[in-house]
Structure 1
Amino acid sequence: MDLLYHSLQIADHVATVTMTHPPVNAQSRPFREEGIRLFDWLSDAEEVRCVVLTGAGKVFSAGADLKERVGMAPEQGDYLRHNRQVRDYFFAVADCEKPVIAAVNGPAIGAGFALMLACDIMLAADTAFVQMPEVDVGLAGGTAFIAEHFGKSRARAMYFTARRYPAAELYRLGVIEQVLPADALLEAAMVYAREIAAKSPLAIRTAKRAFMTVETMPVREAYRYEQSLTVALSRSDDTREAQRAFVEKRKPVFKGG
């Protein structure tokens, strides 16, 4: 796949995606379109079992490229097309069949913060911070992403004031998994990714589907749905291999089916 705004490396069933749109990994139309194609491809790539997403340089992503909004004409459908692509980009990451780990190497601002929150597991450098400055530039998107992860007061304070919150505060609140020195961040993310990649690809894909499906379901119906997934998994070769390996006290050999 030819890439202009991202780089891709695959090793040990882990895909490392690095945003490479200097100076601040701003999300332009071509950047997002490439990201959508890339994450759709990763969803189907049999050799990939987990994805690590990070940024080149000192910024994870400073958000949307605001220069593109100059001259947009709402009455001509410009905003509808633009907003559709923005949604598709975030959900290409969120809906990726494989778990996506964010290695947040620096500031994650606006749409960059939303992109981080679209990932499954989040680790951040101790120099990173997050910010939602949308109201400062006449925008109103992203409230759903932060409301999912923060309490009412914090989410609204974060949005209405556009204050910066350091990675350490997100860790204290249980929003992110780890805060690390910048030079240790990527390797820490890879440790998680390799651990996930060593498990049954079918079981991991099913577990991610369960998380995403039950988000808006009542607990009783959600658990019933999860049990139906367990029944389907029980018919798979990977599940039989996992159970045999457990009994035989050996490492399982998974084939993804």
Structure 2
Amino acid sequence: MTVSAHSPAPGITVVTVAAPPVNALTAQGWFTLAEAVTNAGRDPETHVVVLRAEGRGFNAGVDIKEIQRDPGHTALIGANEGCAAAFSAVYDCAVPVIAAVQGFCLGGGVGLVGNADVVVASEDATFGLPEVDRGALGAATHLARLVPQHLMRALYYTAETISAKQLHHHGSVYAVVPREELDATALALARRIAAKDPRVIRAAKQAINGIDVQPVHRSYRFEQGFTFQLNLAGVSGTARQQFLDGGEKP
């Protein structure tokens, strides 16, 4: 797995995740991503961050195989702490974060996107939380930032996905474009933001977070508590193994 950062234009830092085959991240992968986003925001030359991924999908969540291989709970704790760190890094980044999403965006991917400032997506992008099917809970906090409350509940309970076009209808996806235009669209938007006075943009990010009605950090950690409960009850391990045995793919 690699997380890289580069600056394609003044004021813009692009953070790219590449974790074949489906961009499911290990515990360390989430921490590495968190560090990359945080460092980008701390760079005074960065006015805006674009978060993107290589491959057929944006993110498939946590690496279930890593958790299942661990006879104890170290990997699970690491994954949960890593996810919390990465989601927080996006939300707390000192500058706006634009998420550029292609293909599937599942589990932890929704956590990243839900905490981003702006979302652009390809026409084939789908978003969903398969947590219920995996014996876990989490990221309802972030899905609730993308869709209305009752739709969030329906998607959560059924583990169904929603398309980028549908999210655009709800106003949470800024633009839906052909996949080949995704990066260019994200960069065009980034350039418009980067052209503003960075002192004002950084202050605006703090101000908008300060008036947010949802305490995203506390809310997500509350959800995670039920994941630990389900693991202690033996429910989660069984669900994860069924998923791995079934060979289901995003």
User: What TM-score range do you get, normalising by the shorter chain?
Assistant: 0.7 to 0.9
Q: SS at 2:46's partner residue? A: coil
CA distance in 1, matches of 2:213, 2:170: 22
Deviation of the 1:141 alpha carbon: 0.7
Normalising by structure 2, we get a TM-score of 0.80
Out of 121-130 and 45-54, give the one that drifted further. Answer: 45-54
What is the root-mean-square deviation of aligned Cα atoms in Å? Answer: 1.6
Identity %: 33
1:204 has 2:201 as partner: yes
Query: 2: CA distance between counterparts of 1:165 and 1:21?
Result: 23
Q: Deviations over 1:72-114 (max 9, x none)?
A: 534xx66444422221111011110011101102210111121
Matched residue, 1:86: 83
Are residues 1:154 and 2:151 paired?
A: yes
Q: Name the counterpart of 1:115.
A: 112
1:38 matched residue in structure 2: 36
Equivalence for 2:22:
24
Measure, in 1, the Cα distance between the counterparts of 2:146 and 2:11: 29
| SS of equivalent residue, structure 1 residue 124 | strand
CA–CA separation in structure 1 for the residues paired with 2:39 and 2:174: 27
List alignment gaps of at least 5 residues for structure 1: 218-257
Q: C-alpha separation between the residues in 1 aligned to 2:76 and 2:21?
A: 25
Q: Which segment drifts farther, 91-100 or 80-89?
A: 80-89
The 1:129/1:82 distance shift into structure 2, 3 A limit, reads: closer
Deviation at 1:181, TM superposition (A): 0.5
CA separation of 1:79/1:185 partners in 2, compared to 1, >3 Å: closer, same or farther?
Answer: closer
**Which residue number in structure 1 is paired with residue 72 of structure 2?**
73
CA offset digits 1:44-85 (Å, max 9, x no partner): 1112111111110111011111112213534xx664444222
Give the TM-score normalised by the residue count of structure 1.
Answer: 0.78
Kindly state the Cα deviation for residue 170 of structure 1 after the two structures are TM-superposed.
Answer: 0.6
Inter-partner Cα distance in structure 2 for 1:84 and 1:146? 19
Unpaired segments ≥5 residues, structure 2: 215-250
Note closer, same or farther for the CA distance 1:72–1:12 as it changes in structure 2 (3 Å cut). Answer: farther
Question: Residue type matched to 1:48 in 2?
Answer: T
CA contact (8 A) 2:26 2:63 kept: yes
Distance in 1, Cα, partners of 2:99 & 2:87: 13
2:40–2:46 contact (8 Å) kept in structure 1: yes
Q: Which residue identity does 1:73 align to in structure 2? A: G
Q: Which has the higher contact order (CA 8 A, sep 6+)?
A: 2
CA distance in 2, matches of 1:32, 1:85: 5
8 Å Cα contact 2:28/2:82 also seen in 1: no
1:178: Cα distance to partner?
A: 0.6
Regions of 4+ moved over 4 Å: 77-81
Secondary structure of 1:215 counterpart: coil
Q: State how 1:238-257 maps to structure 2 within 5 Å.
A: none
Instruction: Give the total of aligned pairs.
Output: 212
Other-structure match for 1:5? 2
**Is the radius of gyration larger for structure 1 or structure 2?**
1
| Matching residue within 92, 95, 100 for 2:97 | 100
| Contact persistence 1:72–1:78 (CA under 8 A) | no
